[in-house]
């Protein structure tokens, strides 16, 4: 009887192992066969035939062989009237917030129209003669990263001018989970246009589908909108990014830390712009009790970085062994508690912190000395409400 029991147990362990192995093997195989929307031209080239198109893209609009989408489309006879460039420009080398100029792409001779600064939304004359605008940009899945706002304005302009919008989908490095405070309408801006949490757990194709489906565009207009989905994409797996999404997100560590450290942009604390470790360190001249030291200086990613030339004391997070992907409030709270400057408040006077958070509640909670657990608990109800909306637009399995 005892031997029988042992054999049954052994068989059960073998079956569990095989199940786990097969699941891992299947997902690994899927990852090998993974393709972005751009890497499936058989799906979109027939839809672009004999059409005049615009392309919204930047340096991340690459195919797996590192051919740029614009070059590939030109080579395949697609008529591109204009390239629309988001924040950081078509080649992705402009600072955050820097004015991006209109121009001409040297390689193809196609006119470039900036969708940043005073022209965030394409004007009717800029869309005249265009049938479809193809959107292909690597997003990072965080509300205050402005490419989802560029897509929103594009969809609005498309709906108003009878121009179709086609998104070639790409992975979201913060996919498969939601986190952070949900934006309140009063704090809507270009770094947060919709009532979504800081981490919204959707690919950019799914996000646009949600904006359209929920009628969040101005006057509740809806665009003629389509997504070229990825092949064998799983929301909780992570995929390599072919080029840095912007000058100060140079690697996976910076992207993983971005939802946590971007809050510092509303404070007297540097996030390492003007160093070799942007969004991987933080510090200030007024947090002298913290161990790491650095001095921001002008570089390619920051021509005049915050706290330029000032010795800062903080923490270096680039050496952490874990990937630090989840939104973490401990660092901003620690910096607040260690901040010592009677002349300058920790939070910037313009309350940019509230704009980033999408609410003034988080700032008030930090000032009141609320714990991380208490703050996170206060997000729970809004996140649950958002999950009901998000669930309607998911295209991919976990």
Tell me the pLDDT tens digit for each residue of 107-131: 889 999 999 888 999 999 999 999 9
Give the model's pLDDT for residue 357.
98
As a whole number, mean pLDDT of residues 258-265 equals 97
Residues 169 and 97 in one domain: yes
The answer to the question of residue 373 being in a domain is: no
The answer to the question of residue 14 being in a domain is: no
Q: Which domain holds residue 339?
A: 252-367
Residues 180 and 286 in one domain: no
Residues 237 and 95 in one domain: yes
- Choosing from 241, 260, 293, the residue where a domain stops is 241
The answer to the question of residue 392 being in a domain is: no
The answer to the question of residue 202 being in a domain is: yes
Element (H, E) at 182: strand 179-182
Among candidate residues 373, 285, 370, the one with its CA nearest the CA of residue 335: 285
Residues 227 and 263 in one domain: no
Give the model's pLDDT for residue 377.
98
Residue 177: C-alpha distances to residues 303, 390, 395 (Å): 34, 11, 14
Share of the chain above pLDDT 70, in %: 89
Q: Which two tokens stand for residue 262?
A: 């971007």
The answer to the question of residue 17 being in a domain is: no
Residue 291 — very low, low, confident or very high, per pLDDT cuts 50/70/90? very high
Cα–Cα distance for residue pair 330/86, rounded to 1 Å: 32
As a whole number, mean pLDDT of residues 367-392 equals 98
**φ, ψ at 140 (rounded to 5°):** -120, 5
Residues 262 and 222 in one domain: no
Most distant pair of Cα atoms in the chain: their distance = 84
Residues 226 and 264 in one domain: no
The answer, as to whether pTM is greater than 0.85, is yes
Residues 141 and 278 in one domain: no
Cα–Cα distance for residue pair 371/358, rounded to 1 Å: 20
Residues 285 and 201 in one domain: no
Give the model's pLDDT for residue 260.
97
Residue with token string 């988080």: 362
Residues 183 and 291 in one domain: no
Cα–Cα distance for residue pair 41/329, rounded to 1 Å: 42
Residue 6 — very low, low, confident or very high, per pLDDT cuts 50/70/90? low
Percentages helix, strand, coil for the chain, rounded to the nearest 5? 35, 15, 50
Residue 105 — very low, low, confident or very high, per pLDDT cuts 50/70/90? confident
The answer to the question of residue 62 being in a domain is: yes
- Choosing from 241, 261, 285, the residue where a domain stops is 241
Residues 229 and 259 in one domain: no
At 200-222, the pLDDT tens digits run 999 999 999 999 999 999 999 99
At 87-96, the pLDDT tens digits run 767 865 555 5
CATH of the domain at 106: 3.40.50.12170
DSSP state for residue 38 in the 8-state scheme: T
The answer to the question of residue 16 being in a domain is: no
Helix (H, G, I), strand (E, B) or coil at 169: coil
Give the model's pLDDT for residue 219.
96
Query: Could you count the other beta carbons within 10 Å of the beta carbon of residue 66?
Result: 8
Residues 176 and 72 in one domain: yes
Residues 132 and 259 in one domain: no
- Rounded to 5°, the CA angle 239-240-244 comes to 130
- Choosing from 241, 270, 286, the residue where a domain stops is 241
| Domain count within the chain | 2
The answer to the question of residue 265 being in a domain is: yes
Give the model's pLDDT for residue 22.
44
Cα–Cα distance for residue pair 359/356, rounded to 1 Å: 8
């Amino acid at each position: 009887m005892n031997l029988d029991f042992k054999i049954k147990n052994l068989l059960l362990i073998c079956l569990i192992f095989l199940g786990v192995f097969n699941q891992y093997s299947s997902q690994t195989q899927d990852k090998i066969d993974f393709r972005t929307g751009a890497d499936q031209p058989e799906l979109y080239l027939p839809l672009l035939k004999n059409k005049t198109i615009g392309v919204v893209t930047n340096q991340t609009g690459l195919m797996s062989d590192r051919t740029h989408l614009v070059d590939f489309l030109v080579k395949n006879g697609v008529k591109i009237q204009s390239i629309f460039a988001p924040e950081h420009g078509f080649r992705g080398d402009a600072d955050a917030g820097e004015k991006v100029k209109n121009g001409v792409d040297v390689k193809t001779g196609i006119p470039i129209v900036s969708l940043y600064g005073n022209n965030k939304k394409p004007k009717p004359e800029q869309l005249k003669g265009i049938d479809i605008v193809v959107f292909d940009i690597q997003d990072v899945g965080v509300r205050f990263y402005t490419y989802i706002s560029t897509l929103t304005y594009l969809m609005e302009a498309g709906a108003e001018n009878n121009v179709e919008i086609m998104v070639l989908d790409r992975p979201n490095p913060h996919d498969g989970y939601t986190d952070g405070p949900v934006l309140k309408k009063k704090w809507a801006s270009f770094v947060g246009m919709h009532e979504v949490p800081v981490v919204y757990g959707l690919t950019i194709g799914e996000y646009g589908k949600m904006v359209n489906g929920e009628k969040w565009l101005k006057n509740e207009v809806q665009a003629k909108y389509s997504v070229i989905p990825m092949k064998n994409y799983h929301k909780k797996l992570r995929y390599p990014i072919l080029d840095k999404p912007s000058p100060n997100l140079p690697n996976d560590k910076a992207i993983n830390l971005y939802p946590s450290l971007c809050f510092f942009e509303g404070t007297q604390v540097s996030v390492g712009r003007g160093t070799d470790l942007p969004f991987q360190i933080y510090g200030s001249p007024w947090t002298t009790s913290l161990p790491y030291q650095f001095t921001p200086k002008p570089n390619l990613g920051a021509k005049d970085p915050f706290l330029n030339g000032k010795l800062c004391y903080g923490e270096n997070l680039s050496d952490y062994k874990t990937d630090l992907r989840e939104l973490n409030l401990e660092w901003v709270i620690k910096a607040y508690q260690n901040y010592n400057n009677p002349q300058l408040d920790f939070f910037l006077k313009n309350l940019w912190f509230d704009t980033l958070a999408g609410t003034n509640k988080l700032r008030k909670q930090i000032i009141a000395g609320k714990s991380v657990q208490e703050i996170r608990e206060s997000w729970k109800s809004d996140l649950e409400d958002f999950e009901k909306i998000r669930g309607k637009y998911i295209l991919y399995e976990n």
